[in-house]
Amino acid sequence: MPGPGARDLNRAVGKANAYVSSQGAPSAAVPPNVSVSPRSVEIPDVVVQMPKVLRPVTAVRSTIVCASLLGLAEEGLKDAYLERLPSEHHAAIAALTAGQWIPVELAMEHYRACDRLEVDDASFERMFRNADGRLRGTTLSTVASLSTALGLGPWLPLRQYARTWERLFLGGGVGVLRLGAHVAQVEARGLPLLRVRYFAKGMRLLHVLAYERFCAQVAVDTYPGPDAESLLYRVRWR
């Protein structure tokens, strides 16, 4: 069943948007440089340093596209998806297996076709929840399980974001700031896939799913980055 925050999924990325886990109610977005309460305001602490030299992402791990394709099939949307995917890319998409590096352009075509489907919120959330389950073998998910077992909260997996990024993308970069005891800001840069609304919305939801494993309530707000291939995620939890 979709969480109560599912109705927010169609808000355009580029504003201060909130997505809240099914374990909590929606809450107001906060400005990019302000923490959730005066008591929790701290000088930002760098948890993961953004690379000093960035080049745009040129390749993407096929695993994320394969998980997306399985979700489309489970929702009965595969045929409609193929109708919206340019025919010259059909063979390449059909030949995908998990674990390959594929050109970012092919991943862009996949997510553009998904975006053209205009999937309803319930189906969208179901697909990404299932995709999250398939992707739990990533470094971040493994560390999240360890963090849960040790009662360390989200900060341990947050420190692994750079390693997770490198497993999924060639190029670009990610940085993490600690804004308060229960507030983190994740910044993704150099990722052309963020130009596609469907992918950007999915990234926001995956952040929620990653942290609701060990938090009673999670909220993720999105803010525009310095360019169209960047995005800020404000993660708050209890």
Domains in the chain and their CATH numbers?
A: 4-237 (3.90.1520.10)
Measured distance CA(98)–CA(137) in Å, rounded: 12
CA 12 from centre of chain? 15
Measured distance CA(116)–CA(211) in Å, rounded: 29
pLDDT of residue 110: 98
In the chain, at which residue ranges do the beta strands (DSSP E only) sit? 17-20, 45-48, 59-61, 101-103, 169-170, 173-180, 183-189, 218-224, 231-237
14 backbone φψ class: left, alpha, beta (φ>0; ψ -120 to 50): left
Closest CA to 197 of 7, 13, 6, 9: 13
CA 155 from centre of chain? 17
Each residue's pLDDT, cut to its tens digit, for the chain (238 residues) gives: 444 443 333 333 333 444 333 333 333 333 343 333 434 445 789 999 999 999 999 999 999 999 999 999 999 999 999 999 999 999 999 999 999 999 999 999 999 999 999 999 999 999 988 877 666 655 445 555 555 555 556 888 888 889 889 999 999 999 999 999 899 999 999 999 999 999 999 989 888 887 777 778 889 999 999 999 999 999 998 8
pLDDT of residue 151: 56
**Which two tokens mark 151?**
């009662």
pLDDT of residue 142: 56
Asked if residue 142 lies in contact with residue 163, where contact means CB atoms within 8 angstroms, the answer is no
Asked if residue 220 lies in contact with residue 206, where contact means CB atoms within 8 angstroms, the answer is no
* pTM of structure: 0.77
